[in-house]
Amino acid sequence: MEMSECPKCGSREIDRGRITSSSWQPRYISDKQKALKIPPKVISCVCLHCGYVELYTDAEKVRENRK
């Protein structure tokens, strides 16, 4: 699910990216995730008009990692 319109202000000026630092990439790890499975990346979208930020990840990958 990618944000195409800002839910806060309605702008369509959306930039897609990810939250990161120079040494690692955030990933979502479920409390029910099985050990040693690679968790999915956290994707982010930001509204270039008002600064609203939305985060999401691959739900199918999360379901797979819980098996």
Of 36, 43, 63, 49, nearest to 8 by C-alpha is 49
**pLDDT, position 51:** 94
**pLDDT, position 7:** 93
Report pTM. Answer: 0.66
pLDDT band at 1 (very low <50, low <70, confident <90, very high): low
Residue-wise pLDDT for 8-54, tens only, equals 999 999 998 876 655 566 777 777 877 777 777 888 899 999 999 99
Count of other CB atoms within 10 angstroms of residue 49: 14
Domain range summary for the chain, segments of one domain joined by +: 14-65
